[in-house]
Amino acid sequence: MQITTSWHEKGREEGKKETAKAALEKGLPVDLIAEVTGFTRKAVLELKNGQN
């Protein structure tokens, strides 16, 4: 069960990253994206700058 949970969590995290990237492309505010995805502001800014 641990393997399934780990795989599921990794997929969920990737999905959140893709959502955040799409929101950035649409011009949504970084703080709003952070609030909705649960990422930190710093993590969203890193996505915006292509660091992740």
Domain range for residue 18? 2-48
Distance in angstroms (rounded) separating the CA atoms of residues 28 and 8: 27
- Type of residue found at 52: N
pLDDT at 27: 97
14-43 pLDDT, tens digit each? 999 999 999 999 999 999 999 999 999 999
* Whole-number Å distance between alpha carbons of 48 and 42: 10
Choice between 51 and 17, residue whose per-residue pLDDT is larger: 17
Question: What pLDDT does residue 3 have?
Answer: 60
How many structural domains compose the chain? 1
| Contact indicator for 29, 37 with CB cutoff of 8 Å | no
Angle at which helices 30-37 and 2-25 cross, to 10°: 160
Amino acid 11 reads: G
Predicted confidence band of residue 2 (pLDDT cuts 50, 70, 90): low
Return the SS3 of 19.
helix
